[in-house]
Every structure is written in structure tokens, then in C-alpha cells.
Structure 1
Amino acid sequence: MRVRGRLTWGRRARALAVLTVLLAGVLPPAVALVPGTASAGAAAGTPVCEVRDNRLREISGMVATDDGYVVINDGADDEARRRIFFLDQRCAVRRTVSFPSRPRDTEDLAVGRDGTVWVADIGDNDRSRPTVGVWRLAPGAEQPVLHRMTYPDRPHDAEALLLDASGRPLIITKGGSGTGFLYAPTTALRADATTPLTALGQVTLPTTTTSNPFSFLGRGVITGAAAAPDGRRVALRSYADAFEYDVPDGDVVRALTTGTARITPLPDEPQGESITYSRDGRSLLTVSEAAGQPTSRPTILRYPATATTATATPATESVDPVSPTAVRPAAGEIGGAGGRTWPLVAGAGTLVLLLGLAGVLRWRHTARQ
């Protein structure tokens, strides 16, 4: 996610990852942070095609269609990038659709059974937006229609969108400790009204050790979501992995909140925020942002969809019943990197250092990034 005038979450995470490496060299072994290492059997995806259009340097959402792909950019600073892009099967732009007004922070895409494209304008780095929105582009429409929504508790940063069996949009918050929260509209969406959202539960990602640019931080955030064409599977992704859940009865919320994930490592993608299923449902397709990497272009990668249940277990956490987004570590522990547990006292000291740096990185820049 990029935010004008502020350091992006990705840059904050990179800075924290650097601190992790530095701390690993100066702290005792009991409290050293372990950088990410590839999961057993992790392999890079197979390239499908390269996106060469310079307007598409920050792809944050993607869906596969019968004749290609639909993608959107992260953020809204550049007018030329504030569009819905339709690509052919070789990743060439064949047409674009402009927004009738400026979006705030577009982060994900979903496609309904009738071909309607849903754009999730739900990013909120600073958790300050009074409303979020989804843009609905009906088949044959010239422009999308904005539907505003508001959270029942407080603003959240989110980058993942799914549709349930009835076509209702589901927002999954980004989290940060391996836990995201699900929200959905309480009533039918209207273009002339702001619809309240309701909380539906939480999803906790399994712990992995997959190598990624943000180390353990990148494994605990939800950056995208996708549904299989037949609706019987859904996938969430982090910067490091994809997590597939079976949806045998059409209940997406129950699948995410009570199901067991199957894990596909997505190792070392530069800044992976997009995921979709291939049209035959046999593959997972991803694409990463390429901003800040002048020598590379976004490339769609293919990974085989999983078929067996993973043995990984969710991270051990408890949720504050009063504040559902405040996640408390289990008694006597502080969450670890790649499943590792830190001793309470030493780990707390390290966490304070990380949180202190995160606070410093929130200062405002006067120059436009």
C-alpha cells in the first residue's frame, strides 16, 4: 500500500526487517530474531507473462477471466493509473475503465458469477478513513458505481475482498499478527447511502517459515484473497504464502473462521499483494508490485493449487472480547518468527524496540513520494 506523504507499510516493514537483522547480530541467541527461511519444498512460481505497461507498476489486485486478466493499482496518486485495466492472455492492456471520481486506496478485486467486477477501495494505512468502499462495474457498464461502507468499531486497514455465495462482499482486514477480521454489509448496498458493516469473526493464518522480503512480518499479514471459479475453495495470501480453504457448503465465513488451511509457499515475491485462481481452478496465479524496482516488471506467476490438508497449526493467540482487533499473546509467550517462541522478558524488550521504530516511521514527509 502506498500513501502520499507518508512512508508506506512496505517501506516500514523493510526498515523493521533491517532492524531484525541488526538485532540478530547483537542480541543473545535466546532473543535474536530469525530471518525468514524457505519452507520445505518451496519453489518459485512459473512465469506466465510479463506486464510491460508502465502504468501498472503497483498491481494490488487481480482476477483471471476467460480471455485474460483484470488488474488494479495500489493507491491513487497518478491519474493515469487510476483505472481498471483489462489485459489479454499475454498481459497486454486491451482496454481500461476510468473511475468517475478519485478512489482512495484500491487494494483487491473480485468477480461475481454474472461477470460484475468488484474493486475494493479499502486500504487505510493510518486507520483514519471514516468510510471505505467497493466499486461495482456491471457487465457492459462504462463506469463503476461506488458503494460506501463504515466499520462498526473503528477504522481498519484491509487489502482482501471475497464474495459470498449470495454475492455479498466480505472484507478481510490486513492484520499484522497472523489474525484478520471479517466484515460484511448489514444491508443491501446502495449508491446513495453509507452502509454499516458488521463483524463476522476472525481468521488466523498458520505459522510458516517461507522466505520473503519482510521476514516474519510478511508472514502475518493478509494482502489479498481469491475464490475458485466453482466457489468451493477460497484462498488468502500474505507476502509469503497462500492459504486455501474448502467451502463445501458455500459458507465462506465458516470456512475461513473454522476451516484448516492448505499452504502454498510463494517465496521471495518482491511485494506480493495479488492472487487469483486460474479459470480451470487448477492453479493459483499471483503478481507482485514492482514499484521501486526499475529493472524489473510485474510478472504473473503460476503455482499448483493444493489438494491435501496442511498439518500446520494456527498461531497461538487469544482475542480481547471487548476489542476484537486487539490480539493478546498466549500466557507467558510473545509471538515468534516462523513459529519460534521468545522468552517473555527478552521478547518484550525486542518488541518494544520494533514498536518504537514503527512509531518513528510514522512521521510525515513534506516531499511527495
Structure 2
Amino acid sequence: MEGLEVRISDITVFALSLPMKQDFAISGGTVGDKSRGAPHVYVRVTSDDGAEGWGEARPSPRWSYETPETVASTIDRYLKPALLGMDAVDLQAVHSIMNREIKPGYGSGQPIAKAAVDMALHDLIGCATGRRLADMWFAGFRPGISLSYLISTPDPAEAERKASDAKRKGYRGVDVKLGLDPAADADILEAVKGAAPDLFFRADANQAYTLQQAVKLAKRMERLGVDVFEQPLRANDLFGHAELRRKTSVPVALDESIWTAGDLVQAIRAEACDTVVVKVTKMGGLSGAKRCGELAREAGLGLLGGGLTESRLGLAASAHLFNCLGITEPADLNGPLFLEDDPVEEGPTIDEGSATLPDRPGIGCRISTDKLQAFFLK
């Protein structure tokens, strides 16, 4: 793309509430429900020649300090004025400007807001140049991705029914949320494994446990054959995770502990994990997530792909990246399980445990402006 310039002429923010099929909760609380929907923020970046790119943020105060209100105001009041007129192709300079306007603190400084802009810029560059994300990354295009089935319930009987449903529908893996009722977690693990013994089993605690609790539950997981224990302890407890690794043979994955490449370096130094969960939204966009994934691979760590009920726009962007990184385990891109509808007019098609990705420039999705207006957050 030598000599190419794609100048940013406008950035528009759409704060949305997308309808949900069912409630969704993690150990920290509810992140979306049928009565109020789920908060999403869409971002459109327009170039001076009229090309458009779209990005998505999925904020929730249950898993970070960013909310729909802060994401929208951060982009509209701080990032947009600083980015207008910049060359979208120079993503390194764009991120430098975003980090100047919103300083990194302990973390990267409003990474969810920055992720939506970064995603939209990737889409814009692809659409302006006629190249798919895979082409932009000098990787082969892969048209499909395997999805995991998310189970989030404190009721072992319901967990068993959902696991049976996942197996019947052809899913290759399940992602089981723990910590909703810690007293029931061992029974939930037993129920899911009994109903779906051959599926990849990802047990995600979302920081629910103390080290003593995690060690005890990990021993049960060893006997059951759980494949990975995700984020059992507080995000900042790297040494606790390292201690857990010494006391169990179940691979430990870190999610909330790793938002930046710097976080990943600290986790590697502490020997705190076997696997890293790559999420576009938390890692500041496709740029940061790709950097973390490549660094983890070089360090000999495993990779899992994740998300948080993104719509088909975020799902498509994430899936393209996971394919580029060579992630083969089913990805926790669970939006289709929970969302009733979204503003995507043309995009990935979902067939239970798999998604077929659009073979078009950029992310490959087309957005309906009519649906955007119908889903405006009131």
C-alpha cells in the first residue's frame, strides 16, 4: 500500500441496545438481559473519498470500568477531534494519537473505546483498497470458524440440558461459566462432562475464586478431564495463578489479567498461565489483539479466542483474526446464542456450532442504517 492515503473525514458513534433472546450473567453480575437488552456501540469512520469502515465495542461495567456512555463520549469528544484528517493507513500513528488523548494508566486507557475505532479503521482500509483482513495481514483467507456453546447457569440440571443441546447440535466445545453459585460449581462440572464427554471443555470462572478454592476445584477438574481453567483468580493476582499452576495439571488460561502486550509480558515472566485468551475488544482492537496473540505464540503459550456477546460485526472481525493466529479450538464468540438481532444487513452466517465468514473487503459486513436507528440506546 505504498503511497496510499486514506484520510479520515468523519467519525460517527452509535450507542445501541440490542435485543436478547435470553439473559446472560457471569460471576460479576448480569451483562445483558431480555428486558433491557445489551449495550453495544457501533462506530463508522468515513474517508475523504466516501469510503466507510465499521467497528464495534461491547462495554459492560460487569467486566471493566468502561460503560456505553464512557465509550461514546471518549470517541466523540476526545478521539474524533484528534483523528480527523489523519491517514487511516498509518495505524501506528493513529494509536499513538489515541494514547496521547486518553493516557494509559494501570491499563491501556479506555481500550474498549479504542478497539471500536481500530476495528473500523481496519474495515475502512480494507474497503478502500479492496483487500480482506486476511490479505492485509498477508495470511490465507479461511471462510469458516468453529464456535463454542456457552453455558451460564447456577443450576446443574439446566447445565446438563444445555450441554446435551450443544452435543446434539454439533458443537465441538462448551464454555461453562463458573462462580454464579460457587457451592454448585462442582456439580455443574460433573453434569456438563457427563452430558457432553467428548467436547472441548472450557471452564471460565471470571475471577470468582480464592487460591484455596481454585486448587480444590482444579483437583475435581483433573478427574473429570476439563481442558482448561480460565481466569480463576483476581486479574492482578499473577503469582496466585502461578502457584495454582504448580498445584494442578489442568492448563490455566488468563483473560481479564491480559489487556495489553505489556500485561502478557508480565504474565510470561511470572509463569502465570499456559494459555492466553485473545479478545479484540479488551486488547484495544485488532492491532493489539494480533500483537498479543503473536507474542503468546512466540512464548510457547496456547491461544483461545473469546468475546462478550458481540454482534455479527465484532464476531466477523474476531473470527478473521483468530483464523490468522491459527486458533483451532472453538471460539467463544457467543453473540448468536444471546442476541435476537443486530444491525448487520450482510455478514457471517451462523449454523449452530460454526460460522461462515464473508468473503469481501475489510471485515466484510454491511450495516443497515434503518436497524441502527431502531436500536438506538434510549
TM-score (norm 1): 0.36
Richer in helix (by share): 2
Q: Provide the TM-score with structure 2 as the length reference.
A: 0.35
Instruction: Select the structure that is richer in strand.
Output: 1
